[in-house]
Amino acid sequence: MSGVIKVGMADLNAIVSPGILTTLGLGSCVGIVFYDNKNKIGGMAHVMLPTSRIANGDKINEAKFADTAIEKLLELMISMGAKQTFITAKLAGGAQMFASRNGSNDVLKIGHKNVEQTLKILQEKNIKVVAQDTGSNYGRTIELYSESGLLLVKTIGHGVKEI
């Protein structure tokens, strides 16, 4: 299957080359991108919150939280033929979109917490982070090209970069 597959907020998907995965409007959310360069399989999750421990209720959206999204994305990619030993990660997003007056409001630091938790989980799973474009105070849109593993990061006012 080729073409462009959109990954929504609190969503994830994977693709076997050729094709593009994209997600729009990463603010404090983190775009977690996995790529198996041997099997040319890419995956993307648009994560809103760092941990599912804060969720209430029996049924949660696993793609919404860094801890469960990473696990689910790995399972999906492996079911498509990826090997965890070949998977590397790239991250984008995790911005602080709203300034706090006194600098101490933790609710406003959700972007930083998302990145921090994602990095911790990836380290525990021995998945190497090969590039990231995180933090600051602006949003991002990302596109993963499954043939090469290139991640295009687009911003308004801060240009476009390849990582």
Q: State the catalytic residues.
A: 29
Q: Residue 108 burial by CB count (10 A; 0-12/13-18/19+): exposed, middle or buried?
A: middle
- For residues 21, 26, 30, 32, the Cα torsion angle rounded to the nearest 10 degrees is 10
Q: d(Cα 123, Cα 138) in Å, to the nearest integer?
A: 26
Tokens of 8: 């929504």
- 37 torsion bin: left (phi>0), alpha (psi -120 to 50), beta (else): alpha
Q: Do the bridges between strand 87-93 and strand 128-134 make them parallel or antiparallel, or are there none, so unpaired?
A: parallel
